[in-house]
Chains A and B, each alone.
Chain A
Amino acid sequence: MNFLSYAGKRLLQVIPALFGISVFVFTLVHLIPGDPADVLLGQTATPARTKLLHHQLGIDRPIIVQYFSFLNHLFHGSLGTSFYDRTSVSGLIAGRLQASSFLLIGGIVLSLLISFPLAVLAASKEGAARDQIVRMVPIIGLGMPQVWIGIELILLLGLKVHLFPVSGFGYTFAEHVRSIFLPSLSIAIGLSPILIRSLRASMLEIWEADFVLTARSKGLSRIRVTVSHVLRNAIIASVTVLGVNIAYLIGSTVIVERVFAIPGTGSLMIDAIGRRDYPIVQGVTIFFALAVVTVNLITDLIHAALDPRVSL
């Protein structure tokens, strides 16, 4: 099987996942016992809002009709209208994407800067002191709540030493980068224990692979083998490990945005919860799920392009 037919097959696999996501998000509101409008609006319920919600949810219609109407809106890129200010949810999400993307990319870059060297170092000699030390990182780091890491970073690097801003997103590019440094670092420190563990394991496998043995037996130096044989495969491993953890990574941005008051998509969702603005909560949930499916698809395709064995 060549790359194209692999890509085609992989694309087809996306369809059931998309179907599942739509069913799940649609069902979410139907999990509520009684009149969902009462629960969703809570104390913010007014006759007008209740009526609007009934109309938006279309609860008076048969459930299957409701589902297809929901699906129809989705296909047209419509995620509904906010209860709070009557603007389109897709527009609101688009407006918040910049901050979230900065944070996500910052988180990925810093995670790799922390995990990759440590994993390479540990795997270069299994069982050696350096390996033992690196292996302690996940054991201690796994239990660090990201909100807590964020607050400790604010205290140490933001308030005690005034190195970085402790909240907001700034207005210029340079300010954005400075503002997202601490939040990205919180994400990276939280994610690194998981990344280091998986990357170290993948790299140990690479070191034991036949082609590395061949290269070593040809008399190539350890450094030469590392650079030209091991690293290439280690990068492939990183792409995969990141792809697997992308859902976790995106979830982290939601939490960390809150700690640092960053006006991203996650903050949009949390603020909407405070205002019981159901369409936004639903819209962001769908949006994030679609983002995860897309990223997983892309990482699989990159993986297949880098490593021809995948599409076999």
Chain B
Amino acid sequence: MKNKNYSFYLGIAIISTLAFIAIFAPWLTHYDPIGQNLMSTLAAPSRHHWLGTDNLGRDVLTRIIYGARIDLSIGILAVLFPFILGTTLGLISGWRGGWFDVILMRIVDTTIAFPFYVLAIALVFVVGAGPKSIILAISLVGWVAYCRIIRAAVLVAKELDYVHAAKLSGLPTSRILRRHVLPNVISQAIVFSMSDIVLSILAIVSLGYLGLGVPIPTAEWGSMIQEGQAYILQQWWIPTIPGVMVVIVGFGLSLIGDGLVKRLNK
């Protein structure tokens, strides 16, 4: 079992490194991520520009580094809200059952009928492009997964002896839910949230590519892929590296998620 934990720590190391890069971006590069230099456009990699420059003469490496800020922070925020909302609703729904549960499950059925990208595109169209809309769109769809995971776990947990004991000892429901049920049902939701962050970053990148995400010229991996597509034959790395960054994030978070599963199953 020992070597299996290495992959968990490798995941932590990867994500911490990326977080470090995102947080300390201004100290890692002295270029401006949106500062154009039309005198040196599409420059090849050199000592000054490690990954060259794009069609507007912006330093590609700098934009990748600043892109990490945008994509990681929106990705995490966009999972935080549905996590809290879905967990709360799933907890109440599973515990109370009855009409609340019936109505909530019908809302769940409706939400999962919409392909995520279609719903997100429609919402962003109505609300307007930008980080807030992306977070809103992902939250509106994302809570469903947490709600279902938590609800299923609560249905099992509420029949367990320690929960019955807590009930019999006259503890208030809110306390039972917070102190006794929640800590025992939350783990699966936390594991799922790891791959969910990846999915939400994929959504940010895809919306950015479609021109419906974070508005240009902000450095964001999706719009970098879109802008780089036109120059792929000469400068293949401009659209390629932002995608590789997402793969690395996905790899790190998957390792953490799998590692958590192993730890919980011990």
Contacts and interface: CB of A to CB of B under 8 A. Distances in A.
A300 to B, nearest CB: 12
B151 to A, nearest CB: 17
Interface size class of A (residues with CB under 8 A): 35 or more
Given A143-B250, A159-B233, A288 B114 contact: yes
Nearest to A277: B125
Contacts of A147: 205-206, 209, 222, 225-226
B251 A258 contact: no
Interface stretch (A23-31, A50-58, A226-234): A23-31
A154 B106 CA distance: 42
Interface residues of B, number: 50
Contact of A148 (B106, B109, B225): B225
Interface string B249-262: 11101110010000
Interface core residue of B110, B222, B249 (most chain A CB under 10 Å): B110
B210 interface: yes
A37 B209 CA distance: 27
Main SS at interface, chain A: helix
B195 to A, nearest CB: 6
Interface string B68-98: 0000000000000000000000000000000
Interface string A136-151: 0011101111111101
B202 interface: yes
A106 B12 CA distance: 37
Interface stretch (A87-95, A109-117, A278-286): A278-286
Given A142-B198, A142-B254, A251 B247 contact: no
Contacts of A16: 106, 109-110
B117 interface: yes
Contact of B113 (A21, A40, A143): A21
A255 B210 contact: yes
Nearest to A138: B254
Contacts of B126: 28-29, 31-32, 39-40
Interface in B206-248: 206, 209-210, 212, 222, 225-226, 229, 232-233, 236, 239-240, 242-243, 246-248
Interface in B106-136: 106-107, 109-119, 121-123, 125-128
Contacts of A285: 114, 118-119, 122
B134 to A, nearest CB: 14
Contacts of A155: 232-233, 236, 240
A175 B91 CA distance: 53
A239 interface: no
Contacts of B115: 247-248, 250-251, 254, 288-289, 292
A292 B239 contact: no
A43 to B, nearest CB: 13
A269 B113 contact: no
Contacts of A212: none
A127 B248 CA distance: 25
Contacts of B258: 139
Interface of A: 13, 16-17, 19-21, 23-24, 28-29, 31-32, 39-40, 138-140, 142-149, 151-152, 154-155, 159, 247-248, 250-252, 254-255, 258-259, 269-270, 273, 278, 281-282, 284-285, 288-289, 292-293, 296
Q: Closest 4 interchain pairs by CB? A: A143-B250, A20-B110, A148-B243, A251-B117
14 contacts: A20-B110, A28-B123, A139-B251, A140-B247, A142-B250, A143-B253, A145-B206, A147-B206, A152-B240, A152-B243, A155-B240, A251-B115, A255-B206, A293-B113
